[in-house]
Structure formats: C-alpha cells, structure tokens
Amino acid sequence: MNKEPENPDRGEPPAEAAETAAGVPPQPPAAEQTGGPSSTAGEVSALLQKLDEATAEAAAHKDRHLRAVAELENYRRRALREKEEARRQAVFSLLEDLLPVLDNFKLGLKAAEQHEGGAAFIEGFRIILAQMEAVLRRNGLEEFHPLGDVFDPNFHESIAHLPHPDIPEGHIVEVHRTGYKHQERLLRPAAVVVSSGPPAAETAPPAE
C-alpha cells in the first residue's frame, strides 16, 4: 500500500486562521486601534478652536442685534420728540395769530357794554368769548395780568414810568395789554406802566 506523500506546505495553521476558524474576528494592530495619543489631542484642539470661533461669531451677532435695537429705539424716541415739537410749534403759531382777534373781540365787547343799543348782544358776545377762551386754554394758552407785580423784562414790556404814592418803584401800576404764555413759553409780553416811586416833594418857595 502506497503512503500519500506529505504536503510540505501543511503545518500548524497561523493564529489568524485559527481565530477565524473559531469565529473570532481578527484584531487590528494596537497602533491602528487607538490612533495614537497625538491624533486624539489634535482632534480635541481642532474642536475647541471651532467652538471658540462659533462663540465669537455668536457674540458678534448678538452685539449687532443689540446695537440695531438701541438705534431703532433712539430713532423712535427722536421721531416722537420731533413730532411733539412740530405740534407745539404749530399750536404756538396759531395762538400767536389768534391773539389780535381775541383782543379785538374784547374791545368790541367793551364798546358794546358802553352803547345803549348793544345790551341785546352783550350776553351772546360774552358766551362766545368764554367758549373761545376755553378752547385756547385747552390748547395751552395761559393769560397773565401782572398788576402790582415786580417788573420783569422777560415777561413785561414797559411803555411808560409814572410816579405813584403807594406802589413802590419798579412795580407795575397799570396793565395796558394782557400777556400770554404757551406751556411756560412767552407768547406775548404784557404791556405795562411801571411805578417810578412816590412823587418828589414840592419845595416851598423861599420866604421873602
């Protein structure tokens, strides 16, 4: 009986073949499993850098947003102020134009009171005048009649100086035209006569 010749290539199977045959997957080399400590540190550093960049970009966006909100609020407030100032100026100009009309209406009423035939119209004129003054007051008109006050060139216009036995010098003795203000802003000064103090004592003629 002839013996089967021995296969010189056959021998002990390698460890990988044995593990495969046993159902265990082959394990990569240790260097391939971990990737090395330097590779991990590089990845962490890159991630931290990206996080810093994203944080800085978010902060820049937030800053631009806050600036835009502040600018919008400032614009809104400025627009409201300009609108209110324009309204006040329009009312001021209208009141300034109406003052001569108001003066003439009062003069007409005073003339009607002194006329015998005007008695039938006086009450109607008074009602109209009261309504007109109420409307003007609602729009900020303030009337001042400074009789007896100290003369103030900021609010009074002196048209004459007269001596007065009872009113001290520099005080107002007569008001020829009423003054008006609009929200503490002078609309028209009051035309007044200012006291120059007591009249000078007459000197007696020398005895002969």
- Give yes or no for residue 88 having a pLDDT over 50: yes
Using the structure block, give the residue that is written with the tokens 């800053």: 63
What is the SS3 assignment for 114?
coil
DSSP 8-state secondary structure symbol assigned to residue 145? -
Q: How many angstroms separate the CA atoms of 111 and 122, rounded?
A: 10
What's the pLDDT at 129?
92
Q: What is the pLDDT of residue 208?
A: 55
Q: What is the pLDDT of residue 64?
A: 93
- pTM higher than the cut 0.75: no
Strands (E), 79-130: none
First to last CA, the chain: 198
Angle at 119 between CA 131 and CA 105, to 5 degrees: 40
* Res 36 pLDDT > 60: no
Compute how many other C-beta atoms are within 10 angstroms of the C-beta atom of residue 149: 16
The domain spans of the chain are 141-198
Mean confidence (pLDDT) of the chain:
82
Q: Label the pairing between strands 190-195 and 172-177.
A: antiparallel
pLDDT of residue 31: 44
Element (H, E) at 10: none
- The pLDDT of residue 26 is 57
Whether 104 and 111 have beta carbons less than 8 Å apart is answered as no
Question: What fold does the segment set 141-198 form as a domain?
Answer: Nucleotide Exchange Factor Grpe; Chain A, domain 2 (2.30.22)
pLDDT of residue 111: 84
| Residue 163 clears pLDDT 90, i.e. is over it | yes
Kindly report which listed range (24-33, 60-69, 164-173, 197-206) carries the lowest average pLDDT score: 24-33
pLDDT band at 1 (very low <50, low <70, confident <90, very high): very low
Edge-to-edge order in the sheet of strand 156-162: 156-162, 190-195, 172-177
199-170-154 Cα angle (round to 5): 155
Query: What is the pLDDT, as a whole number, of residue 27?
Result: 56
With contact defined as beta carbons under 8 Å apart, do 192 and 158 qualify? Answer: yes
Higher pLDDT, 8 or 91: 91
- Residue 16 or residue 159, greater confidence: 159
- The candidate with the shortest Cα–Cα distance to 175, out of 159, 155, 193, 154, is 193
Q: How many CB atoms lie within 10 A of CB 95?
A: 19
Q: Which of the four pLDDT bands, split at 50, 70 and 90, describes residue 186?
A: very high
pLDDT in tens, 192-206: 999 998 887 655 455
- Show the tokens assigned to 89: 């100026």
Residue 184's identity, in one-letter code, is: E
Please determine, for residue 7, whether its predicted confidence score (pLDDT) is greater than 60.
Answer: no
